[in-house]
Structure 1
Amino acid sequence: MATAEQIKSLIRSHFDQDREQFTTIALQVAAHEARKGHSSIAHEIRGLVDKGKFSPVKVLPLHREFSDFILPSSPKERLADIVLNVEMEFRIKRILKEYRQQARLKKYGLSNRRKILLAGPPGTGKTMSATVIAGELNLPLYTVLTDKLVTKFMGETSAKLRQIFDIMRERRGVYLFDEFDAIGAERSRDNDVGEMRRVLNSFLQFLELDDSDSLVIAATNTPKILDQALFRRFDDTMHYSLPSEKEIISLIKNRLGEFMPASLSTKAVANIAKDLSHAEIALACDDAIKEAILADKNRITATQLRAMLEERKEAYGH
């Protein structure tokens, strides 16, 4: 049986919502039982821990009035599924670590990073990063479509924002404000209208007062037009860019998997893929895989991959 200290630690970590500590202690209990020769109990405990790690996220249905601009999902993606440079990977891991150990931070009067701004060109991994964070933390992802959130009726958009922040307190999850430019544009812009200034002021106020356990992630393709006051409200700002040569090669290998050509000059392919985003490269790989499948082949050819990358460059005007 577990020791008294282990039982107390399990209870404490459960009520502190320290998932990582809870898992660590549970595995220590399993090891303790294994040393005593109780192999079946140890195996069962490890099985329960593994099941808890990878159990599907339960997404509670939202009221119908929110279904037009909030899309709930249950991400299964993990860090291994996304290609990032070393700095960006470190910063996402830091968000995950602080969330998992938020109870320890609270003891010192500190809070985990939970309000994140993602900025960069389209297709560079912003939405995927939010998806991975939700998947790693086993939390539901609620994507807020800000372009559909905004209405022409005075006060309605701010009222909807208030409701979203109320939901954050009730339903813990990752809330992604996609296409954030729709409400985050600088208040002094010449083409701005008074109503949008009020919407942005409301968002700033709600964000500052929010003390829920949810993560708030805003994604923008054009950070230069965002109001400067926004940057002070977020705990972290992450700037995304087009993939480097090393990232292009890693992305192609990850995406193609078993369909990877037997012979491929990765440097030459990376040169072709230069100026393409992560999403564009992934789509080119998918197109090549589809051609191989329909041709009853279990691998693509280097020629197919190069052709699909060139096609993407032409389609996007690169």
Structure 2
Amino acid sequence: MSKTDTQVFPHLSEILKIIDGALRANSSMAANYAGLLADKLEQEGNREQALRVRERLARAPTGIAHAQDAGRISTGLPIDTESRMHTVDVSHPMVDAVKLYLPSGVDSRIREFLNTVRYYDALQASEAASPLRLLIYGAPGTGKTQTARWIAGELKLPLLTVRCDTLISSLLGQTSKNLRQVFEYVEQRPCVLFLDEFDALGSARGNERDVGELQRVVISLLQNLDALSENTIVVAASNHDQLLDSAIWRRFPFRVPLPLPDFQLRKELWKEMLGKFSSSALDFDLLAEKSEGISGALIEQIVLDSKRTAIFAGATAIDPAELFKRLGLSLALVQRVALPSLEDEICWLRKWERKIFSLRELSRLYSISIRKVSQLTKEEDGEEKRGHS
């Protein structure tokens, strides 16, 4: 049996990138990918080969030698000439530092994309490779940014984040120039490019608000994506996938919707995020049931607020009623129910879940008498009478 290309050249992608850098007289690009090659060789146990690559890099001029560490990004970030602001933010997510909470089917699809990146050379040798581009979309707070950070961490690559709305310039043609600068910068170094708020750039052409400049932006985006090497990792995220141009969809072989967490995932999120602050009196099934329709990000915020309240009170665990209270008030915000006063809060909670928020429990939570709660909710103060009997 003959050896495949990847068995002979297991790091063909990095070698080709080094050659590209040399042909373009782009020493930084060549050095960046040579550094990545050395890292991969060392991880595989080929320390002598890694050392030889790094020795060659060490002989390069000082400015180039600094690029040999693939985890470092040199200065010279792209800048919007109108605002003088960087159009790219660089971060370095660590392996296992980012926790990913996704429904099992979605998690499987994301891991498939990750394996496609890792086995790209083997797939390409078998003519089964696809461009390394992932489009994730869904409601705010469902984990799009977290997913991009997790992918970068797992691949041990820097994450270059572009908030696409910051690329939009009032100057004619500047937006397309900003795009070109970002893609040229990304092409020169091993990284994960994260295009956040992607619909700001890729909105469908021909809608009522469409103008010539926006059309040119979409065309420029398509051209830059087409010019990008297929093994350059691109993750795009959108809260409004319905606005994306149909031609944009075709550029992303991997498309993964991120839904709001289902019952089982909500239950897992509550348990994981509460951790040691959990209470034996807490009914996680009821908590998962009552939190239907909210995002993982909102669950995290409710947990943080409840932990803070517990710490202020000198407690080692959260008060279950306090947690449900914060959940109920958060649901009111989601449903755009205005609760300007504590009295409004009490009435809302009583109406939302009577079993949890008895008159007595509301009295305890808000430090007012049961009679007062009874008057606010316009209910008989039978509980107070039973308490005195």
Q: What secondary structure does 2:276 align onto?
A: helix
Q: Does structure 1 residue 108 correspond to structure 2 residue 126?
A: yes
Q: Does structure 1 residue 72 correspond to structure 2 residue 69?
A: no
Aligned residue for 1:272? 290
Any idea what the Cα deviations from partners look like across 1:260-308, whole Å, max 9, x if unmatched? Answer: 2222111111122111111111111111111122222222122222122
- Out of 214, 218, 235, the position equivalent to 2:253 is 235
Q: Does structure 1 residue 208 correspond to structure 2 residue 222?
A: no
CA positional deviation for 1:197: 0.4
- Aligned counterparts, 1:42-57, within 5 A: 57=71
Q: What secondary structure does 2:259 align onto?
A: coil
Aligned residue for 2:315? 297
Cα distance between partner residues in 2 of 1:131 and 1:80 = 7
Structure 1, 205-214 or 115-124: larger mean CA deviation = 205-214
Any idea what the Cα deviations from partners look like across 1:239-271, whole Å, max 9, x if unmatched? Answer: 111110101011111211221222211111112
Where in structure 1 do 4 or more consecutive aligned residues deviate above 3 Å? 9-27, 55-62, 77-80
Q: What secondary structure does 2:305 align onto?
A: helix
Cα distance between partner residues in 1 of 2:72 and 2:149 = 15
Stretches of structure 2 lacking an aligned partner (at least 5 in a row)? 1-5, 15-36, 47-68, 337-389
CA positional deviation for 1:61: 3.7
CA positional deviation for 1:94: 0.9
Q: TM-score, normalised by structure 2?
A: 0.66
Aligned residue for 2:72? 58
Matched positions, count: 283
Aligned residue for 1:3? none
Cα distance between partner residues in 1 of 2:70 and 2:291 = 35
Q: What secondary structure does 2:86 align onto?
A: coil
Aligned residue for 1:41? none
Q: Measured at CA, do residues 133 and 25 of structure 1 come closer, stay the same or move farther in structure 2, by a change above 3 Å?
A: closer
Q: Which amino acid aligns with 1:139?
A: L
Cα distance between partner residues in 2 of 1:115 and 1:251 = 28
Higher RCO structure, 1 or 2 (CA under 8 Å, sep 6+): 1
Aligned residue for 2:107? 89
Aligned residue for 2:152? 134
- Aligned counterparts, 1:227-266, within 5 A: 227-266=245-284
Q: Do the aligned residues in 1 keep the contact of 2:113 with 2:254 (CA within 8 Å)? A: no
Cα distance between partner residues in 2 of 1:302 and 1:179 = 36
Q: Measured at CA, do residues 314 and 77 of structure 1 come closer, stay the same or move farther in structure 2, by a change above 3 Å?
A: farther
Aligned residue for 2:235? 217
Q: What secondary structure does 2:79 align onto?
A: helix
Q: Do the aligned residues in 2 keep the contact of 1:99 with 1:113 (CA within 8 Å)? A: no
Q: Measured at CA, do residues 167 and 245 of structure 1 come closer, stay the same or move farther in structure 2, by a change above 3 Å?
A: same
Q: Which amino acid aligns with 1:156?
A: Q
CA positional deviation for 1:24: 8.4
Stretches of structure 1 lacking an aligned partner (at least 5 in a row)? 1-8, 28-54
Cα distance between partner residues in 1 of 2:107 and 2:199 = 25
CA positional deviation for 1:13: 4.5
Q: What secondary structure does 1:296 align onto?
A: coil
Q: Do the aligned residues in 2 keep the contact of 1:19 with 1:100 (CA within 8 Å)? A: no
Q: Measured at CA, do residues 87 and 23 of structure 1 come closer, stay the same or move farther in structure 2, by a change above 3 Å?
A: farther
Q: Do the aligned residues in 1 keep the contact of 2:77 with 2:86 (CA within 8 Å)? A: no
Q: Which amino acid aligns with 2:79?
A: E
Structure 1, 306-315 or 107-116: larger mean CA deviation = 107-116
- Cα RMSD (Å) of the superposition? 2.9
Any idea what the Cα deviations from partners look like across 1:205-234, whole Å, max 9, x if unmatched? Answer: 111221064311111111111111111111
Q: Which structure would you say has the larger Rg? A: 2
- Out of 204, 210, 216, the position equivalent to 1:198 is 216
- Aligned counterparts, 1:9-24, within 5 A: 13=10
Q: Which amino acid aligns with 1:65?
A: I
Cα distance between partner residues in 2 of 1:239 and 1:274 = 18
Q: Which amino acid aligns with 1:103?
A: D
Cα distance between partner residues in 2 of 1:99 and 1:106 = 11
Q: Do the aligned residues in 2 keep the contact of 1:73 with 1:140 (CA within 8 Å)? A: yes
Work out the percentage of aligned pairs sharing the same amino acid. 30
Q: Measured at CA, do residues 10 and 205 of structure 1 come closer, stay the same or move farther in structure 2, by a change above 3 Å?
A: closer
Q: What secondary structure does 1:211 align onto?
A: coil
- Out of 137, 147, 167, the position equivalent to 2:185 is 167
Aligned residue for 1:37? none
